[in-house]
Amino acid sequence: MNESHKSEFIELRKWLKARKFQDSNLAPACFPGTGRGLMSQTSLQEGQMIISLPESCLLTTDTVIRSYLG
């Protein structure tokens, strides 16, 4: 079940876009038995890149230490 319309996913997309994430063919979804995840909206081909995140989108020990959490 596609969940792109939910406010938390809209906010996530805004956050990703602000950090130079290039949109992909992935959509948030809820899967029976496994819960939330990402679902491809197109058929995938062998060797195809599915997602590429810029470093600014990664949560690492360094980013946590530099945040208000650290």
Over residues 12-64, the pLDDT tens digits come to: 778 888 888 887 788 888 889 998 888 899 999 999 988 888 888 888 898 88
CA dihedral sign of residues 58, 41, 25, 12: negative
Residue at 1 is within a domain: no
In three-state secondary structure terms, 2 is strand
* pLDDT range class, residue 6, cuts 50, 70, 90: confident
Rg (CA), the chain: 14
Residue at 61 is within a domain: yes
The range of the structural domain enclosing residue 11 comes to: 7-66
Count the domains in the chain.
Answer: 1
Tell me the pLDDT tens digit for each residue of 24-38: 788 888 889 998 888
| Tally of residues, the chain | 70
Q: Is the pLDDT of residue 1 over 70?
A: no
Residue at 2 is within a domain: no
Q: Which of 62, 64, 1 is nearest to 30 (CA)?
A: 1
- What number of CA atoms fall less than 13 Å from residue 35's CA on the CB side? 0
